[in-house]
Amino acid sequence: MNMQTTSRLTAAETALVEAFGAQIGELPGNGAVIGTRDRLLDDLKKSGLPTRRIEAWHYTDLKNLLRILPDAATVSAIDPAAPLVEGSKVLSILQGTADAKAAVDGVEIALFRDRLADGSAAAGLTALDKDDAIGRINGSFVRDGYAIAVPANTELDAPIELQALHGAGQVHTRFPVSFGAASKATIIERHRSVAEGSALVSSISDIALEDGADITWIILQQQAAEDTHLGQIRVKLGTDAKLRLFVINAGGKLVRQELRIDVAGEGAELTLRGVNLLGGESHTDVTLVLGHNVPNTNSTEIIRNVVFDRANGVFQGMIRVAPDAQKTDAKMSCNTLLLTDDGGFSAKPELEIFADDVVCGHGATVADIESSHLFYLMARGVPENKARAMLVKAFVAEIVEELEEEKLVEALEGVISAWLEKHA
Amino acid sequence: MLEIKNLHARIAEDGTEIIRGLSLTVKAGEIAAIMGPNGSGKSTLSYILSGRQDYEVTEGDILYNGESILELDPAERASKGIFLAFQYPLEIPGVATMQFLKVAMNEQRKARGEAELTTPDFIRRVKDAADKLKIDQAMLRRPLNVGFSGGEKKRAEILQMALLEPKLCILDETDSGLDIDALKIVADGVNALKSPDRATIVITHYQRLLDYIVPDTVHVLYKGQIIRSGDKALALELEENGYADIIGEAA
Amino acid sequence: MAAVQETIDQVRLIDVDQYKYGFETVIEVDKAPKGLSEDIIRFISAKKQEPEWMLEWRLDAYRRWLTMEEPTWARVEYPKIDFNDLYYYAAPKSSAGPKSLEEVDPELLRVYEKLGIPLREQEILAGVETPRVAVDAVFDSVSVVTTFKKELQKAGVIFMSISEAIREHPELIKKYLGSVVPTSDNFYATLNAAVFTDGSFVFVPKGVRCPMELSTYFRINEKNTGQFERTLIIVEEGAYVSYLEGCTAPQRDENQLHAAVVELIALDDAEIKYSTVQNWYPGDAQGKGGIYNFVTKRGDCRGARSKISWTQVETGSAITWKYPSCILRGDDSRGEFYSIAVSNGYQQIDSGTKMIHLGKNTSSRIISKGISAGNSNNTYRGQVSINRRASNARNFTNCDSLLIGDQCGAHTVPYIDVKNASAQIEHEATTSKISEDQKFYVMQRGIPEEEAIALIVNGFVKDVIQQLPMEFAVEAQKLIGISLEGSVG
């Protein structure tokens, strides 16, 4: 039913096309990269931004929601910030530009703009499928980022923080990261507005865990209330690899976080946790497509959402078990505290199962605070508003407490508390 | 201290009447036991006294120190000194026990116009009280009641009671699920709090707990009414003969 | 469904994966020419002696249909249907005109006997233990007989074919037809509005508890014939009806199209219980033939405290595309959906429900049990939607899928949309294979594998079976067993 034609582009679509024309000369990339960029933009132009008729965008009609684009990256001086967790190695990307001097001992780090210039990034600039608007936008416009390789058998003693700070304008970044066999690391990917004005950020992290790698990856999105964030994480898990992926959304006006995960090695294990703090007029969509593609893998996914004001939240979670992926164990739950009648939450947890010897399940709840919990706290003398605040905080803090690193838990609880104080 | 007058109450959701004309007076310093068979309305009474919204009072009144408390919410009642030790203490994931205790103590103090506790003072109080109840510090580092055994939960309730220093303690089936050692610890905790300005209502199904917490008065609740009152001998009589005789008399 | 037991017993003797209702009846028929056009619609309308407004209604739907596209979002695959290669009207010749049992072609009565559907009232009345069920039998495009009409009339209940109702109760038809499923609703519903040929009409007046179960029995017999029935059930204030629907078709190599529309209307305090046992021909073991079952069923809880309950047992059809839904418009109204969907061979099922909460204090409950075997695909697709003004809405959903064999697929696609903070929504779904431990235990007691599976599956679906009227429950259980035959390989 896709009847969009090039002649009916919206203002935002036109702006994308024109911006591309204006920038093409200065976007980094050799011939192969430019060719790929061209193709991606052409596909985008042909199909237009996705509407709700596209099942993957059922709840986020990007064509309607993304109305005006901020101008392409405007230069403004931004200073790096303190890392979320003290002692982290910071790799900063300020207004979309990576730091040429960035280095972490024992880790290979390259600038993504160099990979574009020499063409080695071309192969990875593809869209994942015909509905991958983020892949197309990012692939067309990406300017920089870091390509990181953690060698095999390397254990990093401090987290690496990918610190993406921006002000008004457009920022398109990409982080191809590979973790060698049996490596161990924690990566914190932060997207944060530090200056006035609205921004459009697209960012793709393309990460591969080789056999036995044991990785914690945290995405912390704290953009400004008028910003758009189009994030995508592409993950491939090798044999016996372990990934703990935490996604925390605490900002932005229009947010789409896509998690595309390919569990491709036997014995691999995914732990996905999400916290969505939704307030103001925001629209936040977390979309997971998780493929269990080989036998004997397991995953658990827990998403917690808190909705205030006129915010709208979406969680789409698809667990796909391939034929022959026997003994898959996958459990997903999505719980929402809807604390307003002016906002809403939509959940679409989906199971697509083609192997029979599996244990898969999902649960979804939408409710107000549990009345018996509220009563218990009040019966101890805690006034209602305070008791509610405690329970809301507990509802989401419980998720980050699963992280083992105490400093990380504290920092993330701090983010949650600060957000709740501002919005609750 | 507490005066319940011709109380009628029902479940808000479906209108089922549970308390049907209950009257009871408990004086300061008194330990009153309320006994009765299953379904007689014992737990409901404890919830109504502490202000749970799932029940509606349709008639009668509850006076606490001479004032009606029907219009007060649970937190306001708690700040006035009414404490309910739950039959089934709730597990509240994500809420740290220590943080919860601190907020509860300070909120009650605030409501009474007292200064908030300093952190060292708070920690000292918790530690002292926990030691007396043989509560492990590790337990206090866990989320509220989460993963506690039945006995641990009951002890945690008594710990909260000791810290909050209420004036009217309501113990709802505090003995259920406790072995004899745990029962003694809990009873000692309750007895330690006995004072002339504090009243305690012990709700129980069995006489057993009353060997350790000796009541001044015993009341039999049946079909939402007190059908008989007496002293501790009444509890023994019930133990001996069961509820059938008394219920028969009342019917 | 009195004679069911007997039929079941006979069928048990038949070989694996033999569709028991696959016989064809040779009967003289009256057919419209093949194809679809305004002329065909005029032909159907004229055959039914319909008033002018009805014809206009149909033509209006037809013109709209021409602008619509076939939906593609469901997880079902089939070659494009040539809507001009179908017959839209086929009727047993002898059945035209007013119907009484005496006038019905004895050959037709034998068909229903063979199917286990009793149409002779005296026979039904004679059976001491037989529960009394009034039946409307629809053969291809027309209703051939409706039993117990007189007795129902005494109670004030109208139960007749919809063709008759259009002639005899135009005021009710005008008021309610299309009021739940508008003619513009979806591709198949719009097609149905244009070409529907028959179906049942039920009206239960204020305060009346319908004295017996009502039932319609659908049978597609003719080759290349689309069956487009339309059912309309109106239950007034405080009234109650339980309605059963059964379906079969002969075994044929080509696919047959069935696109029905069912509309239910419950006014204040009314209750409708609608049960379906759908056993259209599913195609053979290689996936050849079978019915395309594209059905729009929707109930409108229009009145306060009204209740609509859908129970379905779906074992047949090559393709099932069906979402019996409830619009919970009245305050304190309640919707229920209980479903068992069994797929085997190359069957494809995409079925579920929608619970649209609009009124205050509305509640809904969804229990769905999917069983996939063979090379089939079985999808639950459902929506629970809580409107901004629907305060205190409650929903509980439970979708369980069972996989038998590693060549089939089981899918769950729930949509949960909540816009009111006082809502309480709980959804849970699981997918697993049949427990080897349970199977072993049962087999160790001497029960053969297929029967062991049937036994365990019957346990799995028990919650839904219990919702069916007794007579149907027995049939449904047997059907599930039969449908799963050949699933062990």
Note the pLDDT of residue C15.
33
Chain B hits for A377, CB-CB cut-off 8 Å, are: 75, 92, 95, 100, 104
pLDDT, averaged across chain C: 82
| pLDDT tens figures, C342-358 | 998 899 999 999 999 99
- pLDDT band, residue C96 (cuts 50/70/90): very low
Note the pLDDT of residue C35.
83
A165 vs chain C: nearest CA distance in angstroms?
Answer: 34
Q: From CA C306, how far away is CA C327, in angstroms rounded?
A: 11
Q: Do the two chains A and C touch, given a threshold of 8 Å on CB pairs and at least 3 pairs?
A: yes
> Residue C232: is its pLDDT beyond 90?
yes
Chain B hits for A383, CB-CB cut-off 8 Å, are: 75, 107, 111
C-alpha torsion angle, residues C88, C92, C97, C102 (rounded to 10): -150
Report if residue A96 sits inside a domain. yes
Asked if the C-beta of A402 comes within 8 angstroms of chain B's C-beta atoms, the answer is no
Note the pLDDT of residue C252.
63
Q: Pick the residue from chain A with its C-alpha nearest to B73.
A: A378
% residues pLDDT > 90 (chain B): 45
For residues A51 and A168, membership in a common domain is answered with yes
User: Which of B75, B90, B164 lies closest to A373 in CB terms?
Assistant: B90
More confident residue, C14 or A416: A416
Parent domain of A28: 6-265
Report if residue A381 sits inside a domain. yes
Q: How many CB atoms lie within 10 A of CB B239?
A: 14
- pLDDT band, residue C295 (cuts 50/70/90): very high
Q: Do the two chains C and B touch, given a threshold of 8 Å on CB pairs and at least 3 pairs?
A: no
For residues A205 and A68, membership in a common domain is answered with yes
Give the residue numbers in A contacting C (CB under 8 Å), as ranges: 1, 55, 58, 323-324, 326, 336, 338-368
Cross-chain residue pair B143–A384, CB shorter than 8 Å: no
Residue from C350, C381, C418 whose CB has the most chain A CBs within 10 Å, to mutate: C418
Report if residue A279 sits inside a domain. no
Sequence-separated (6 or more) residues with CB below 8 Å from residue A239: A211, A212, A265, A266, A267, A268
Note the pLDDT of residue C249.
61
Q: Do the two chains B and A touch, given a threshold of 8 Å on CB pairs and at least 3 pairs?
A: yes
Asked if the C-beta of A382 comes within 8 angstroms of chain B's C-beta atoms, the answer is yes
Give backbone dihedrals phi and psi of C433, rounded to 5 degrees, phi first: -95, 170
Cross-chain residue pair A357–C406, CB shorter than 8 Å: yes
Asked if the C-beta of A390 comes within 8 angstroms of chain B's C-beta atoms, the answer is yes
| pLDDT tens figures, B121-132 | 999 999 999 998
Query: Which of A231, A330, A208 minimizes the C-alpha distance to A286?
Result: A231
Write down which residue in A241, A265, A289 finishes a domain.
A265
A190 vs chain B: nearest CA distance in angstroms?
Answer: 24
Parent domain of C282: 4-483
Report if residue C139 sits inside a domain. yes
Report if residue A303 sits inside a domain. no
Cross-chain residue pair A381–B53, CB shorter than 8 Å: no
For residues A195 and A53, membership in a common domain is answered with yes
Q: From CA B78, how far away is CA B104, in angstroms rounded?
A: 9
Note the pLDDT of residue C144.
62
Note the pLDDT of residue B66.
93
Write down which residue in A230, A265, A300 finishes a domain.
A265
Q: What domains lie within chain B, and their CATH numbers?
A: 2-250 (3.40.50.300)
Residue C344 bridge partners (DSSP): none
% residues pLDDT > 90 (chain C): 44
> Residue C2: is its pLDDT beyond 60?
no
Size of interface A-C (CB pairs under 8 A): 120
For residues A207 and A59, membership in a common domain is answered with yes
Q: What pLDDT tens digit does each residue of chain A (424 aa) get? A: 444 444 578 989 999 999 898 888 889 999 999 999 999 999 999 999 999 989 999 999 999 999 888 876 566 678 889 999 999 999 999 999 999 999 999 999 999 999 999 999 999 999 999 999 999 999 999 999 999 999 999 999 999 999 999 999 999 999 999 999 999 999 999 999 998 889 999 999 999 999 999 999 999 999 999 999 999 999 999 999 999 999 999 999 999 999 999 999 999 999 999 999 999 999 999 999 999 999 999 999 999 999 999 999 999 999 999 999 999 999 999 999 999 999 999 999 999 999 989 999 999 999 989 889 999 999 999 999 899 999 999 999 999 999 989 999 999 999 999 999 988 7
Report if residue C205 sits inside a domain. yes
| pLDDT tens figures, C359-397 | 999 999 999 999 999 899 999 999 999 999 999 999 999
For residues A108 and A244, membership in a common domain is answered with yes
% residues pLDDT > 70 (chain C): 80
Would you state the structure tokens that stand for residue A399, as one six-digit string? 């998720």
User: Which of C404, C429, C433 lies closest to A362 in CB terms?
Assistant: C429
Report if residue C489 sits inside a domain. no
Given a contact cutoff of 8 angstroms between Cβ atoms, the answer to whether B43 and A349 are in contact is: no
Cross-chain residue pair A375–B52, CB shorter than 8 Å: yes
Note the pLDDT of residue C98.
42
**Which of B50-64, B68-82, C88-102 comes out lowest in average pLDDT?**
C88-102
Q: Using CB atoms, which chains have 3+ pairs under 8 A with C?
A: A
Report if residue A187 sits inside a domain. yes
> Residue C210: is its pLDDT beyond 70?
yes
Residue from B13, B46, B54, B100 whose CB has the most chain A CBs within 10 Å, to mutate: B100
| pLDDT tens figures, C395-404 | 999 999 999 8
Report if residue C488 sits inside a domain. no
Note the pLDDT of residue C115.
58
Residue from B13, B90, B106 whose CB has the most chain A CBs within 10 Å, to mutate: B90
Note the pLDDT of residue A68.
82
Note the pLDDT of residue C21.
64
AA identity, residue C394: R
Asked if the C-beta of A371 comes within 8 angstroms of chain B's C-beta atoms, the answer is yes
Given a contact cutoff of 8 angstroms between Cβ atoms, the answer to whether A365 and C436 are in contact is: no
Write down which residue in A265, A291, A320 finishes a domain.
A265
**How many domains is chain A built from?**
2
Q: Pick the residue from chain A with its C-alpha nearest to C389.
A: A341
Helix (H, G, I), strand (E, B) or coil at A185: strand
Chain A hits for C426, CB-CB cut-off 8 Å, are: 363-365, 367
Report if residue C171 sits inside a domain. yes
CB neighbour class for C406 (10 Å; exposed up to 12, middle 13-18, buried from 19): middle
A314 vs chain C: nearest CA distance in angstroms?
Answer: 9
For residues A69 and A215, membership in a common domain is answered with yes
What pTM value is reported for the model? 0.85
A94 vs chain B: nearest CA distance in angstroms?
Answer: 35
For residues A377 and A253, membership in a common domain is answered with no
Report if residue A68 sits inside a domain. yes
Cross-chain residue pair C429–A349, CB shorter than 8 Å: yes
Chain C hits for A366, CB-CB cut-off 8 Å, are: 386, 416, 418, 423-425
- pLDDT band, residue C415 (cuts 50/70/90): very high
Q: Pick the residue from chain C with its C-alpha nearest to A54.
A: C73
> 3-state secondary structure string, chain C?
CCCHHHHHHHHHCCCCCCCCCCCCCCCCEEECCCCCCHHHHHHHHHHCCCCHHHHHHHHHHHHHHHCCCCCCCCCCCCCCCCHHHCECCEEEHHHCCCCCHHHCCHHHHHHHHHHCCCCCHHHHHHCCCCCCEEEEEEECCEEEEECCHHHHHHHCCEEEEHHHHHHHCHHHHHHHCCCCCCCCCCHHHHHHHHHCCECEEEEECCCCECCCEEEEEEECCCCCECECEEEEEEECCCCEEEEEEEEECCCCCCEEEECCEEEEEECCCCEEEEEEEECCCCCCCCCCCEEEEEEEEEEEECCCCCEEEEEEEECCCCEEEECCEEEECCCCCEEEEEEEEEECCCCEEEECCEEEECCCCCEEEEEEEEEEECCCEEEEEEEEEECCCCCCCEEEEEEEEEEECCCCEEEEEEEEEECCCCCEEEEEEEEEECCHHHHHHHHHCCCCHHHHHHHHHHHHCHHHHCCCCHHHHHHHHHHHHHHCCCCCC
Q: From CA A227, how far away is CA A249, in angstroms rounded?
A: 13
Average pLDDT over residues B91-113: 86
Chain C hits for A326, CB-CB cut-off 8 Å, are: 406
Asked if the C-beta of A395 comes within 8 angstroms of chain B's C-beta atoms, the answer is yes
- pLDDT band, residue C16 (cuts 50/70/90): very low
User: Which of C420, C424, C431 lies closest to A361 in CB terms?
Assistant: C431
Cross-chain residue pair A336–C73, CB shorter than 8 Å: no
> 3-state secondary structure string, chain B?
CEEEEEEEEEECCCCCEEEEEEEEEECCCCEEEEECCCCCCHHHHHHHHHCCCCEEEEEEEEEECCEECCCCCHHHHHHCCEEEECCCCCCCCCCEHHHHHHHHHHHHHHHCCCCCCCHHHHHHHHHHHHHHCCCCHHHHCCECCCCCCHHHHHHHHHHHHHHHCCCEEEEECCCCCCCHHHHHHHHHHHHHCCCCCCEEEEEECCCHHHHCCCCCEEEEEECCEEEEEECHHHHHHHHHHCCHHHHHHHC
Cross-chain residue pair C425–A353, CB shorter than 8 Å: no
ipTM score over 0.90, yes or no? no
Give backbone dihedrals phi and psi of C245, rounded to 5 degrees, phi first: -135, 130
Report if residue C136 sits inside a domain. yes
Chain C hits for A359, CB-CB cut-off 8 Å, are: 430-432
User: Which of C411, C413, C419 lies closest to A344 in CB terms?
Assistant: C419
Q: Using CB atoms, which chains have 3+ pairs under 8 A with A?
A: B, C
Given a contact cutoff of 8 angstroms between Cβ atoms, the answer to whether B46 and B157 are in contact is: no
Q: Using CB atoms, which chains have 3+ pairs under 8 A with B?
A: A
Sequence-separated (6 or more) residues with CB below 8 Å from residue C353: C310, C323, C324, C325, C326, C337, C339, C366, C368, C382, C383
- Residue A378: in which H helix or E strand, if any? helix A371-379
Report if residue A270 sits inside a domain. no
**How many domains is chain C built from?**
1
Q: From CA B45, how far away is CA C255, in angstroms rounded?
A: 67
Helix axes of C187-195 and C38-47: crossing angle, nearest 10 degrees: 50
| pLDDT tens figures, B209-233 | 898 999 999 999 999 999 999 998 8
User: Which of A354, A356, A361 lies closest to C429 in CB terms?
Assistant: A361
